[in-house]
Amino acid sequence: MTNNSTKQILLPIWLGLAIGAGVIIGAQFVDKPIKTKKTGTAIEKMKEVLLSIDNNYVDSISVDFLVEEGIKGMLKELDPHTSYIPSKETNRANASLRGSYDGIGIEFDVIQDTIIVVLPIKEGPSQKAGIEIGDRIISVNEESVIGINIDSRGVTTRLLGAKGSVVNLVIYRPGSNTEIPFKIKRGSIYQPTVDAFYMIDEQTGYIKLRSFGSLSATEISEAIDELKSNGMEQLVFDLQSNSGGYLRAAEKISDEFIKENAVIVSQKGKTSKYDDEFRATAKGSFENQPVIVLIDEYSASASEIVAGALQDNDRALIVGRRSFGKGLVQLPISLTDGSELRLTIARYYTPSGRSIQKSYKNGNKEYAHDLSARYTNGEFYSADSIHIIDSLAYKTVGGRTVYGGGGIMPDIFVPLDTSATGSLYANLLNAGALRSVVLDYVIKHKEQLYAITLEEFTGKDLDIFNMKASLLKVASAMSIIISEEDYNASSQLISGYCKAEIARLIWGGNAYYKIMNPITNQAFNKSLTLFNQAAALTLH
């Protein structure tokens, strides 16, 4: 289950999360790391220190705790993407990459210290048990979860578990004034990585990929096939805010667009053991038609492999802002206690030879604040603010100049839309006020919504449902002051989000993006005017 249905790119919320768990490439095709000659001596020394502490230290202390902290300390001396995941967190950390997780199958939010069911996953254990949109979870396995300042991680820790195990919930259902007990058996929940795909017009398709999981290539192939059956002749492929995932998924997805034997990506490690090159194989499903790829500063890792492969092979026009800049490959190593080490074992290079890994020579702290520095320097608003290193110029197969040195530079720059990061809209979204209003509306109008089509709903003006008054009431309870001036400035975003989120809860992810993309996604809007340029690339 996730708490990530909010699809907008909100700079004030996300800048602090630039290096997330998703910025990992799982290089599952390599063997175990090579041991150095001095490893045994170093390990013996570490064992001596730990044994001395365990046997002789004056105060009681957990050796397990020391080991955990010691591992973290060692990794701080390495690159920013080598990471350690404790055993209790590996299942949750790998869920998005596997494409499934074991749990009860709900999307939830924590609003004002209350766990609210946003959406029971279709055909999942919770929906089958009778859990509904808007239910409040009061207790989990006889433990009260009210008034304990619980966060999202605290919820997932309690709800995730082995398939077949049982979770006892007590929920409060608004309007019923009763507490209802549920006994739910955990199951395997499929978690697709394609958030949406639909036809924008009679010839233009759109696909939004959230991450690169084990099933992503299959999902993309199926989406392309369905869109082609509906008349798609050109595609907008949205990788904005996609923080990456499996390298193999990036290769297979790139292969759908690139002709046989063209280079997709190469990698080079400390030893030749980790050197490799990946080329397009069999005929892809969309090799000759115009493609536009959308990226931004949160597009990282596997997203950059795809964008770089399509750009260097002159197979797609890249639109948006400079990507994150992660060009390191991690090997996931399972440790004996169930924990996992994700060790950087190689750098990858785009077909033209670019390394797009940004520098981390000044330490992980400065690296973590790179996006903040870009924002301060004005890069998000002006392409002229991007520092391009002339010595890192490369050529695409068609002779266009592209640059290495940190991220994929877009062919067409689209500045950050300041209206989409307005403080009122961001505050209301971050506080859960907009979600609360949406859930309240859906609960009250569920039967009417199910009785109409998405097209009929899209044509309605939400103001007639008095949503502004509901929002003012919720915001007041959260101590958020809304002036008339601020509301008017953000009204299009606020009403657009509420309408799109209502549509998502009733009709799914496609409905959300159909409504929200034209309102908030400036790169999306710009891309629709650029297909002549994208088509010209296919002539090379």
CA 440 to CA 111: how far, in whole Å?
13
CA 50 to CA 53: how far, in whole Å?
5
CA 426 to CA 435: how far, in whole Å?
12
Q: State the DSSP code for 183.
A: E
| 528 C-beta neighbours (distance < 10 Å), count | 16
Report the run of H or E that residue 499 belongs to, with start and end.
helix 484-507
Concerning whether 492 is annotated as a catalytic residue, the answer is no
Fill in the amino acid letter for 264: I
CA 239 to CA 411: how far, in whole Å?
15
Q: Of 216, 241, 254, 330, which is the active-site residue?
A: 330
| 308 within 8 A of 257, measured Cβ to Cβ | no
CA 332 to CA 141: how far, in whole Å?
33
Q: What is the dihedral of CA 429, 431, 434, 438, to 10 degrees?
A: 130
| 216 C-beta neighbours (distance < 10 Å), count | 26
What tokens does 444 get?
């009250």
| 420 within 8 A of 8, measured Cβ to Cβ | yes
Concerning whether 330 is annotated as a catalytic residue, the answer is yes
What tokens does 95 get?
């869920």
Nearest residue to 119 via CA among 513, 504, 515: 504
Residues 6+ apart with CB under 8 A from 160: 1, 91, 92, 101, 102, 103, 186
Please provide the distance, in angstroms rounded to a whole number, between the alpha carbons at the two ends of the chain: 44
CA 350 to CA 265: how far, in whole Å?
5
Burial class (CB in 10 A: 0-12, 13-18, 19+), 226: middle
Q: Of 216, 241, 289, 301, which is the active-site residue?
A: 301
Nearest residue to 315 via CA among 216, 411, 208, 203: 411
Nearest residue to 153 via CA among 86, 219, 249, 221: 86
- Judged by DSSP in three states, 473 sits in helix
CA 491 to CA 504: how far, in whole Å?
20
Concerning whether 326 is annotated as a catalytic residue, the answer is yes
CA contacts within 13 A on the Cβ side of 44: 4
Bridge partners, 137 (sequence order): 115, 171
CA 370 to CA 377: how far, in whole Å?
10
Give the max Cα distance, the chain. 76
Burial class (CB in 10 A: 0-12, 13-18, 19+), 490: buried
Q: Of 7, 326, 499, 514, which is the active-site residue?
A: 326
- List residues with catalytic annotation: 301, 326, 330
